[in-house]
Amino acid sequence: MKGLSDDFKASVAVSRQWDGKRVGQELVDKIKQDNVDPDFILLFSTIHYEGEFQKFLDIVKDEFPDAPLVGGTVAGFMSQEGCYTRGVSAMAVEYENMDVAVGVGHNTKRNPEGAVEKSSEEIKEALRDSNYSNKCLISISSGPLIPKVPFLGRVSNLKGSFSSKIFSKIGIKLSFYLGYGPGKEEKIIEELHSQLPEFNIIGGSTIDDGKMYRGRQFINKEVKKKSIVALGFSTDKKPKMKGKITLHPTKRKFEITKKSQNGRIIKEINDEPAIDEIVKLIGSRTESIKRPEILYRSTFYYPFGFQNEEDVLTGIGGIAGNSILLAHKAISDEAVLYSSSGKEIIQSSGKLLQNENNGKGPKFMIGCEASLETLGKNIFEYKGRIEEKIKNSPYLITFMGGESISVPGKRVKTRIHSLNSISLD
């Protein structure tokens, strides 16, 4: 779908073809039909196209060689064309008064600071002589990857005492070294904020279909893994940055009484084994202790927050014995369970976009993979509520493994179950 004015154009295209060449050609045809000669392209795919990534990247870049491109794998996406958990989507933006650059950094699991520094330097250098004062950055980084531990394989839920002890003592450090584990989104957004303090930043982490076995990042014609790819631009248009969590704190508060790995592993809650206590707090059936996969999935709907603090929301990234591995590190010992429902997610999206009906600019939004699962059949009501608020503006929502937002002069936010938006009007 196209939109905007003669000097500011945007196209959002979707393809659900299976062959990568057909995907690329369909995206190109739709962008050209909208009469957009892009200055940059955001491109996202579900993991089903893993063997086809290179084909459609080659076709899109060959057709638009001067348009920087970044993107990656997502759990699903939404645009005016529909809501999909299988397919490829692209947002192409054209505007004369804009300078654009891309940057890439590697090994985000082992050295997130170094990866961000490298990508940020490339952005800063390329935009150094820009005459436009409004600066924005879209960051796509490697999301959580289930650790691959020698002799144990890929593990997210280890209940056996022997295997969990091996994993707790050796496997966690080894898996981090090999590039697995959490996405470290909080480290990445904090470092981006430090390196690029004048930039409005929105970030998401790549994911597969929820299994968290693999994720890929795209930059121009290259397919990356365990990396950060970033698209920065400066323009004369003032960006609108918004973010909102899509859940609420419950009255179920608790204290983290024993932790390790700089707050990434919770060993005890309320002086009791962490798993036993969290089952009581959530109210899961007692057999969840014996079947950790049940608990693991149920906590998607009960993430952890920290009292009087909405800048960080985290969830269970894995289970080892009676310990909990967090997606984002605990920033406080005083915590509270949050809860959400499809109805609340729909209402939150309406509140986020309630003053957007006069804007005509393209809107790029990053939502949470867990929110997509929570919505279920309510996804179409969610789509309707969003389009009711933004009218005919072209938009693209990607559902990813973690969301971050940073505005100059304000605190950074790293969360799950949130919806973040950047738009230019």
- Give the whole-angstrom CA distance, residue 95 versus residue 313: 36
Q: In DSSP terms, which residues pair with 92 in a beta bridge?
A: 11, 41
Contact 224, 218 (CB under 8 A): yes
User: What local confidence, expressed as pLDDT, does residue 405 receive?
Assistant: 92
Radius of gyration of the chain (CA): 21
Helix, coil or strand: residue 284 = coil
Q: How far is CA 66 from CA 99, 259, 281, in A?
A: 12, 49, 54
Question: What pLDDT, on the 0 to 100 scale, is given for residue 128?
Answer: 94
pLDDT of residue 162: 43
Residue 21: strand, helix, or coil? helix
pLDDT of residue 35: 94
**Contact 334/253 with Cβ under 8 angstroms?**
yes
d(CA 109, CA 176): 6
The residue whose two tokens read 């590190």 is: 329
Q: What is the pLDDT along the chain (425 residues), one digit of tens a residue?
A: 444 455 789 999 999 999 999 999 999 999 999 999 999 999 999 999 999 999 999 999 999 999 999 999 999 999 999 999 999 999 999 999 999 999 999 999 889 999 999 999 999 999 999 999 999 999 999 987 776 655 555 555 544 444 455 455 545 555 555 566 677 888 899 999 999 999 999 999 999 887 777 899 999 999 999 999 999 999 999 888 888 888 888 888 999 999 887 778 888 999 998 888 888 888 765 555 545 556 666 666 788 888 666 677 787 777 777 788 787 788 888 999 888 788 888 888 878 777 665 556 788 999 888 888 888 888 999 999 888 888 778 999 999 988 899 999 888 888 888 889 998 87
Indicate the pTM of the whole model: 0.89
Looking at residue 311, its pLDDT comes to 72
Q: How far is CA 14 from the centre of its chain?
A: 19
- Residue 390: its pLDDT value, please? 85
User: Which amino acid is residue 397, in one-letter code?
Assistant: I
Local structure of 279: helix, strand or coil: helix
Return the number of other C-beta atoms located less than 10 Å from residue 6's C-beta: 6
Return d(Cα 140, Cα 271) in angstroms, integer: 38
Q: What does the pLDDT read at residue 281? A: 84
Angle in degrees, 0-180, between the axes of helices 20-33 and 53-63, rounded to the nearest 10:
30
Give residue limits of the domains in the chain.
2-144+181-245+342-424, 248-339
| Number of other CB atoms surrounding residue 127 within 10 Å | 19
89 within 8 A of 14, measured Cβ to Cβ = yes
Sign of CA dihedral 137, 415, 289, 319: positive
* 159 burial type by CB count under 10 A (0-12 exposed, 13-18 middle, 19+ buried): middle
